[in-house]
């Protein structure tokens, strides 16, 4: 190359980029992305409000429209059924949140802005940790609204405050596992319009073939067994036990250890979903 | 070229069945503005994506700002900015929130990121729109915000992927001005474009890309002289004089003229050093012979001519407007 160049204008010295440790960078960037996701929710509130609308509708439909008809010996009348129902509604709300998480992740990975994130010295984990953290904060808010709604319709926790906090803790652990299911689904499904829709046919049977509405012994053989071992049932049963609400009883081992299972199931789900989600994320657009 | 800040050696990358890059070599000196010019599908965007660490090459090697893009991507990312045709900003956030977010991700503290955001908003005339959501911005505003976002931490190297594609002429001029300001500050810029005019206006070096490889590289003038220097065009007032004018042009220039009857135009090639003398000679001879001309002038070849000369195909799907504009300007 023989061409000559004008000497470049003297460059103002640029401070050497700070190189904070990996962990502090991951934390700061995770927080920046959490704020971004929360701002999204605040600036387009339709989606979070709709997500909350579904469990509230279920309280009305199952608690009042079907309430008297769905009561069973374990619950007594409609009031008892509503106390029986509320823990199930909490868990349903967390289950359907998979859709919001998956849609958010899928939209992020199809947006052009991901290109800029990748061209920056950003902790790659921040996209996922920011999503998970923002979803957990949303889950706290949703839980508070649902607790308020439950108190309005006559649901109470009958046990100690510590047990009630433990019940909420199990609920949030389940939500955390669902967040990672959503992250994985969002990463493997490239079309954000589709991913929100595929969650419902997956979540609906999981929500219904469980102890949420009906004791398993009232279901036909196989369905009853599925309902007993359903992770949703374990979380619902554990919350009923800790809240002191009417439960479904049952003699099986899984029915007798709901709290243990409500810890083990989410951990198992996390063990299955997190590694492939991370691998998928690292391989995005390679 | 003692201090190239971007080097690429034998980069290859497949996109499915097509070879997006096929032996891509490039060296860009510090402080230069290099335009990667080529039609759609020539591999421009793939080249930028690899140099900006978004994708990995299948083979070959590339260094940017002293670091290998495959081995130390984070070091490269600390030193580059990327802006492009897709305006990669967060649509649901305000302009200001975008810049603060990108500043934080670029390693600035919260207060520094806010300060920097305000500076950039001011500089890109976005202060008034700073509090509005980006999905309400015009195309030009979005592109300016995108450019601002790539500058949150004074990059040593700035990649601009088709920075003005799809913009109206006024917004395009705005982006060009911003880029020229940056270049004044010593930033090395690699821009891709399919607008021949854009490369000519902004870049001090041009690499012509075709089918995933650089087929020619040099200054705009070098590329133009490579396809045969300047030419003198004479447009006759009457079609009847064309033969006589062609004879004069041939005698003075010593080259064989091309005659386009439909345009009443006679063209002869001249070397850059001889063009003024030849032009004067032709004018005097025509005057002496009483041959009337409508127009006469020296025309430098356009980059469109360059692309045609190098590849045998017309260059780019650039809108007709951009090319016409260029012709007018060069012949003026």
Q: Which ranges of chain B have pLDDT less than 70?
A: 1-2, 87, 227-228, 313-332
Closest residue in A to B223 (Cα–Cα): A3
Q: Per the CB < 8 Å rule, is B52 touching A119?
A: yes
**Residue A18 pLDDT > 70:** no
- The model carries a pTM of 0.78
Residues B245 and B175 in one domain: no
Whether B69 and B217 map to the same domain: the answer is: yes
In this structure, the answer to whether residues B295 and B276 fall within a common structural domain is yes
Q: Do A121 and B107 touch (CB under 8 A)?
A: yes
Tally of helices (H runs) and strands (E runs) in chain B: 12, 14
The answer on pLDDT for A59 being more than 50 is yes
How far is the C-alpha of A85 from the C-alpha of A147, rounded, in Å? 12
* DSSP 8-class letter at A44: S
Whether residue B218 sits in one domain with residue B130: yes
Contact B27, B4 (CB under 8 A): yes
Whether residues B220 and B230 fall in one domain: no
Q: Which domain holds residue A170?
A: 45-283
Percent of chain A with pLDDT over 70: 92
- Per-residue confidence (pLDDT) for residue A46, from 0 to 100: 86
In a domain, A14, yes or no: no
pLDDT of residue B316: 46
Is the pLDDT at A58 greater than 90? The verdict is no
- Considering only CB atoms, A43 lies closest to which of B27, B92, B219, namely B92
CATH number at residue B280: 3.30.70.100
Residue A160 domain-assigned (yes or no): yes
Average pLDDT of chain A to the nearest whole number: 85
**With an 8 Å Cβ cutoff, is A220 touching chain B?**
no
Which residue among B224, B254, B281 closes a domain?
B224
Last residue of a domain, one of B207, B224, B241: B224
Instruction: Kindly state whether residues B290 and B237 are assigned to the same domain.
Output: yes
Do B208 and B321 have their domain in common? no
| pLDDT at residue number B325 | 33
pLDDT attached to residue A14? 44
Domain of B158, CATH number, reads 3.40.50.300
Q: Coil, strand or helix: which one is B130?
A: coil
Q: Are B5 and B28 in contact (CB under 8 A)?
A: yes
pLDDT, position B11:
95
pLDDT category of residue A203 using cuts at 50, 70 and 90: confident
Q: So what's the pLDDT on residue A254?
A: 85
* CB nearest B93 (choices: A3, A18, A36): A36
Q: Is residue B75 domain-shared with residue B150, that is, in the same domain? A: yes
Q: What does the pLDDT read at residue B186?
A: 81
Structural domain contains residue A23? no
User: What is the predicted pLDDT for the residue at A163?
Assistant: 94
Q: What number is the average pLDDT over the span A213-218?
A: 84
> What are the backbone dihedrals phi and psi of residue B293, each rounded to the nearest 5 degrees, phi first?
-120, 150
pLDDT value at residue A20: 62
**What is the C-alpha separation between B109 and A225, in angstroms, rounded?**
55
pLDDT > 70? residue A3: no
Residue A253 belongs to a domain: yes
Q: Residue A158, Cβ neighbours under 10 Å: how many?
A: 13
The answer to whether the Cβ–Cβ distance between A43 and B77 falls below 8 Å is no
The residue in chain A having the minimum alpha-carbon distance to the alpha carbon of residue B149 is: A116
Cβ–Cβ below 8 Å for A40 and B79: no
* Structure letter (DSSP) for residue A60: H
Range of the domain at B299: 226-331
Q: Report the b/e string of B105-133 with b at 16+ CB within 10 A.
A: bbbbeeebbbebbeebbeebebeebbeeb
Report yes or no on A28 lying in a domain. Answer: no
Sign of CA dihedral B86, B92, B94, B100: negative
Between these two residues, A71 and A175, which has the higher pLDDT value? Answer: A175
State ipTM: 0.79
Q: How many domains does chain A have?
A: 1
Q: Are residues B149 and B192 in the same domain?
A: yes
Whether residues B8 and B72 share a domain: the answer is yes
Strand arrangement of the beta sheet that strand B205-210 belongs to = B80-84, B157-161, B188-193, B33-37, B205-210, B213-218
pLDDT at B2: 55
> Is A35 part of a structural domain of the chain?
no
Given this model, what pLDDT does residue A149 score? 92
A87-126 residue pLDDT tens: 999 999 999 889 989 998 988 887 778 888 888 988 888 9
Interface check A21 vs B, CB under 8 A: no
Look at residues A173, A108, A170, A165 and name the one whose alpha carbon lies nearest to residue A136: A173
Overall domain count for chain B: 2
- Candidates B203, B264, B266; CA nearest to B234 is B266
């Amino acid at each position: 190359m023989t061409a000559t160049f004008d000497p470049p204008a003297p460059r103002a010295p640029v401070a050497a980029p700070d190189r904070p440790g990996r962990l502090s960078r991951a934390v700061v960037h995770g927080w920046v992305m959490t704020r971004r996701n929360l701002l999204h929710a605040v600036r387009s509130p339709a989606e979070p409000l709709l997500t909350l609308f579904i469990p509230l509708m279920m309280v009305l439909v199952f608690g009042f429209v079907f309430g008297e008809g769905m009561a069973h010996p374990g619950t007594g009348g409609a009031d008892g059924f509503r106390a029986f129902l509320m823990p199930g509604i909490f868990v349903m709300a967390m289950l359907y949140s998979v859709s919001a998480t998956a849609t958010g992740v899928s939209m992020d990975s199809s947006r052009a802005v991901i290109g800029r994130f990748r061209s920056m010295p950003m902790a790659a984990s921040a996209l996922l940790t920011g999503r998970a953290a923002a979803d957990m904060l949303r889950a706290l808010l949703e839980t508070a609204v649902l607790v308020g709604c439950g108190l309005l319709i006559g649901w109470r926790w009958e046990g100690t405050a510590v047990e009630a906090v433990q019940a909420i803790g199990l609920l949030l652990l389940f939500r955390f596992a669902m967040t990672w299911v959503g992250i994985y689904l969002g990463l493997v499904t490239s079309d954000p319009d589709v991913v929100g829709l595929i969650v419902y046919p997956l979540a609906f049977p999981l929500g219904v073939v469980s102890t949420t509405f009906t004791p398993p012994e009232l279901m036909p053989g196989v369905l009853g067994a599925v309902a007993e071992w359903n992770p949703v049932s374990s979380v619902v049963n554990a919350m009923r036990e800790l809240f002191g609400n009417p439960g479904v009883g049952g003699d099986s081992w899984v029915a007798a250890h709901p709290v243990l299972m409500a810890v083990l199931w989410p951990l198992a789900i996390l063990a299955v979903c997190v590694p492939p989600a991370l691998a998928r994320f690292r391989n995005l657009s390679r | 070229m003692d201090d190239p800040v971007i080097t690429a050696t034998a980069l290859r990358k497949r996109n499915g069945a097509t070879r997006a890059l096929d032996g891509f070599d490039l060296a860009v000196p510090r402080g230069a503005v290099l335009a990667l010019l080529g039609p759609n599908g020539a591999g421009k965007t793939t080249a930028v994506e690899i140099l900006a660490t978004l994708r990995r090459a299948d083979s070959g090697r590339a260094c940017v700002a002293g670091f290998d893009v495959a081995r130390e991507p984070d070091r490269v990312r600390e030193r580059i900015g990327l802006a492009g045709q897709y305006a990669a900003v967060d649509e649901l956030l305000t302009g200001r929130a975008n810049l603060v977010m990108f500043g934080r991700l670029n390693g600035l503290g919260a207060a520094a990121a806010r300060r920097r955001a305000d500076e950039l908003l001011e500089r890109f005339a976005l202060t008034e729109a700073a509090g509005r959501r980006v999905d309400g911005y015009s195309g030009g505003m979005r592109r300016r915000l995108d450019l601002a976002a790539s500058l949150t931490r004074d990059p040593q190297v700035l990649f601009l992927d088709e920075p003005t594609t799809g913009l109206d002429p006024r917004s395009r001029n705005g982006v060009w001005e911003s880029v020229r300001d940056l270049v004044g500050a010593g930033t090395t810029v690699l821009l891709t474009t399919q607008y021949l005019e854009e490369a000519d206006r902004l870049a001090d070096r041009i690499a012509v890309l075709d089918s995933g490889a650089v087929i020619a590289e040099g200054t705009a003038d070098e590329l133009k002289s490579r396809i045969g220097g300047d030419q003198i065009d004479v447009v006759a007032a009457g079609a009847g004089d064309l033969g006589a004018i062609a004879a004069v042009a041939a005698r003075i220039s010593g080259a064989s003229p091309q005659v386009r009857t439909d345009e009443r135009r006679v063209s002869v090639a001249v070397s850059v050093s001889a063009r003024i003398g030849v032009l004067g000679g032709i004018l005097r001879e025509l005057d002496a012979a009483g041959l009337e001309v409508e127009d006469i002038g020296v025309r430098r070849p356009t980059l469109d001519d360059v692309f045609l000369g190098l590849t045998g195909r017309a260059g780019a799907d650039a809108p007709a407007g951009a090319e016409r504009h260029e012709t007018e300007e060069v012949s003026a």
